[in-house]
């Protein structure tokens, strides 16, 4: 009897944990993330001075991300090349493509760190704090003096 | 050089505002000293304008274009063959060089390269023209250098050019750059080349109704930007700004700078471009992947490379070693892409008050001189963008500098516009011949 009660309790606990896990991850809201709308909101709140919006061919030229890997994207960065202010939001076609995008954006981030290290210390400090983050098919690179606010804004959309 | 820089800048300004000029020459006013020479030379197809009528008279002429024009003035005679390793049958100046070789006009060339892309200087122009006089029915005269005694720099005239300079000066085909200077190593502009050719034809009695040279019409591109379709721009953070400027401009003008690609990275120099690729190297990414420049230039499929480096080299390596590194780097790139045309852009100046101990404008000018020599040795083209981005005191002008409170070397949008316009003019001049 005691064994049965213990088993039932363990099973119940396991079931509760599974429900809890499913409640934390794989939210339906993430599948609806409109990266262009998110970018619009980000730029409205924290505009990039002398920024330029990138098109599909620019995504290949700047980051090596081909159109066939992306379902949607939005990218904007300072056009002068020496200001660390860059936002790249990608909804990849699938998880494998997302991993490719993540690698390419990491290469970009690493390159910017090397370029600005010992050259423009203030800008390097901004890049140093940045990261590439992947959530399912969504990948983001945010390099900005408003890094924290922008990440918070992005997560608010991602997590519904 | 200062006057030429100012004129080149003004010429760029005239082009950008639509310009005013007499007749069919959009950029040579009728009251210009060059008008009568240029209009005759163009009318008789010895030299050409762009499709839109610009002669680009202040642009320096190169060796290939001068020989081509000389050949046309002489009636485009057939015959001869070319032995130069850097001149191909499809080159515009091939037939002209074949003739020039046959006539002994290029007899003093050392090595097997002609360097058609190298800028011509005044004594070279005199030597070529003087040796060609028999083709115009004029006997060249030796021993005329006594007339040069009034020039303070007469000793700077090379011994192989002395007879030519003396004779052409005596005949009025060339004059000094001032009352006291002949400037034998000085540049020859397209205006000046036209004047020399006109005066030679006049000396030969071939002006005003006499025998006119029969020359083929040169091909001028209809699309002013198509030259750059197979070009790649390689550079440091100065060129990073160009990358952004062109990318942004293409959003409203998709043809801007053709389909030119960019391999640019902050901190890049010819020195660190020779390093192996590593996590810490600053080689530009080609479509997201870090590569050595010789690999990325090859990968992008470019047939022309415009390169601008130096700001991240001179302070570390000094002028001489920076040029050596550039020469090594270009050699590696050329080895991987043998048919690549290399255009080396002059390093641009630093804003007033921002110069450093070693990275200063005097050293940048010295660097550019040595770069130009390096280009001549190797058959690369030298593109003097600094000429339109320098003020009268040798600094980057206030209006062109975006970081006067910082490094003082990066550009504004206006500077990029001037830069691209100069490249367009330079490309057009190379194609007009």
Q: Is residue B174 part of a domain?
A: yes
Domain that holds residue B247: 226-432
Same domain? B198 vs B293: no
Structural domain ending residue among the three candidates B171, B203, B235: B203
List the single range of A17-21, A38-42, B129-133, B171-175 with lowest mean pLDDT.
A17-21
Q: Can you give the CATH number for the domain in which B239 is found?
A: 3.40.50.1110
Same domain? B185 vs B255: no
Same domain? B163 vs B90: yes
Same domain? B259 vs B144: no
Q: What share of chain B is helix, strand, coil (3-state, %, to 5)?
A: 45, 10, 50
Same domain? B90 vs B162: yes
Q: Which residues of B touch A52 (CB under 8 A)?
A: 244, 247-248, 251
Contact A75, A87 (CB under 8 A): yes
* pLDDT per residue as tens digits for the range A46-73: 999 999 999 999 999 999 999 999 999 9
Same domain? B295 vs B189: no
Same domain? B198 vs B297: no
* pLDDT per residue as tens digits for the range B333-379: 999 999 999 999 999 999 999 999 999 999 999 999 999 999 998 99
Look-up of token digits 């949008």: B413
Check residue B90 and give left, alpha or beta (phi > 0: left; psi -120 to 50: alpha): alpha
Structural domain ending residue among the three candidates B203, B235, B259: B203
Q: Which of B238, B288, B302 to mutate to test the interface with A (most CBs of A within 10 A)?
A: B288
DSSP B86: T
Other Cβ atoms closer than 10 A to B383: 20
List the single range of A94-103, B139-148, B178-187, B362-371 with lowest mean pLDDT.
B139-148
Whole-number pLDDT of residue B259: 96
ipTM: 0.81
Q: How far is A64 from chain B (nearest CA, A)?
A: 3
SS3 A33: coil
Same domain? B278 vs B335: yes
Residue of B nearest to A124 (CA): B266
Start-end of H helices in B379-403:
none
Residues 107-146 in A contacting B (C-alpha not used; CB under 8 Å): 107-108, 110-111, 114-120
Same domain? B196 vs B252: no
Q: Is the pLDDT of residue B23 over 50?
A: no
Same domain? B198 vs B263: no
Same domain? B402 vs B341: yes
User: Over chain B, what is the mean pLDDT?
Assistant: 87
Q: How far is Cα B112 from Cα B84, in angstroms, rounded to an integer?
A: 5
Q: Is residue B221 part of a domain?
A: no
Q: Is the pLDDT of residue A3 over 50?
A: yes
Instruction: Provide the number of structural domains found in chain B.
Output: 2
């Amino acid at each position: 009897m005691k064994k049965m009660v213990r088993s039932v309790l363990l099973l119940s606990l396991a079931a509760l944990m599974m429900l809890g896990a499913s409640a934390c991850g794989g939210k339906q809201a993430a599948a609806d993330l409109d990266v262009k709308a998110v970018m619009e909101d980000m730029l409205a709140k924290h505009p990039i001075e002398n920024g330029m919006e990138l098109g599909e061919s620019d995504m290949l030229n700047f980051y090596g991300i081909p159109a066939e890997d992306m379902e949607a994207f939005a990218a904007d960065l300072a056009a002068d090349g020496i200001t660390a202010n860059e936002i790249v939001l990608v909804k990849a076609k699938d998880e494998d493509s997302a991993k490719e995008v993540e690698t390419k954006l990491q290469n970009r981030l690493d390159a910017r760190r090397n370029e600005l290290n010992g050259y423009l210390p203030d800008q390097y400090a901004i890049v140093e704090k940045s990261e590439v983050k992947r959530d399912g098919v969504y990948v983001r690179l945010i390099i900005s003096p408003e890094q924290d606010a922008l990440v918070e804004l992005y997560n608010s959309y991602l997590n519904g | 050089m200062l006057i030429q820089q100012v004129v080149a800048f003004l010429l760029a300004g005239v082009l950008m505002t639509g310009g005013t000029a007499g007749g069919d020459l959009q950029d040579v006013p009728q009251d210009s000293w060059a008008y009568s020479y240029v209009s005759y030379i163009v009318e008789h197809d010895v030299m050409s304008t762009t499709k839109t009528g610009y002669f680009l008279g202040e642009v320096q002429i190169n060796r290939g274009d001068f020989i081509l024009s000389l050949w046309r003035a002489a009636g485009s005679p057939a015959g001869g063959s070319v032995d130069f390793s850097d001149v191909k049958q499809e080159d515009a100046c091939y037939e002209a060089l074949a003739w020039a070789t046959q006539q002994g006009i290029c007899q003093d060339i050392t090595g097997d390269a002609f360097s058609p892309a190298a800028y011509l200087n005044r004594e070279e122009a005199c030597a070529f023209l003087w040796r060609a006089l028999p083709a115009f029915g004029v006997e060249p005269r030796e021993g005329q250098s006594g007339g040069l005694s009034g020039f303070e720099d007469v000793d700077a005239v090379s011994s192989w050019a002395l007879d030519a300079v003396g004779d052409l000066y005596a005949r009025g085909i060339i004059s000094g750059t001032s009352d006291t200077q002949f400037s034998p190593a000085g540049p020859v502009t397209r205006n000046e080349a036209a004047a020399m050719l006109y005066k030679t034809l006049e000396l030969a009695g071939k002006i005003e109704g006499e025998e006119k040279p029969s020359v083929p019409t040169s091909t001028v591109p209809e699309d002013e930007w198509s030259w750059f379709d197979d070009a790649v721009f390689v550079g440091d953070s100065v060129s990073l700004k160009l990358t952004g400027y062109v990318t942004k401009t293409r959003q409203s003008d998709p043809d801007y700078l053709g389909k030119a690609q960019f391999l640019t990275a902050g901190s890049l120099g010819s020195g660190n471009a020779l390093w192996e690729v590593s996590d810490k190297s600053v080689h530009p990414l080609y479509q997201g992947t870090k590569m050595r420049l010789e690999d990325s230039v090859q990968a992008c499929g470019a047939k022309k490379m415009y390169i601008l480096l130096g700001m991240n080299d001179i302070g570390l390596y000094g002028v001489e070693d920076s040029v050596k590194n550039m020469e090594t780097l270009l050699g590696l790139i050329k080895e991987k892409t043998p048919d690549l045309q290399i255009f080396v852009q002059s390093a641009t100046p630093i804003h007033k008050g921002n110069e450093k101990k070693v990275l200063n404008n005097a050293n940048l000018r010295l660097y550019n001189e040595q770069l130009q020599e390096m280009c001549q040795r190797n058959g690369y083209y030298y593109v003097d963008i600094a000429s339109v981005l320098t003020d009268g005191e040798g600094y980057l002008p206030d209006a062109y500098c975006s970081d006067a409170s910082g490094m003082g070397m990066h550009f504004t949008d206006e500077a990029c516009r001037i830069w691209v316009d100069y490249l367009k003019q330079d490309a057009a001049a190379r194609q007009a011949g």
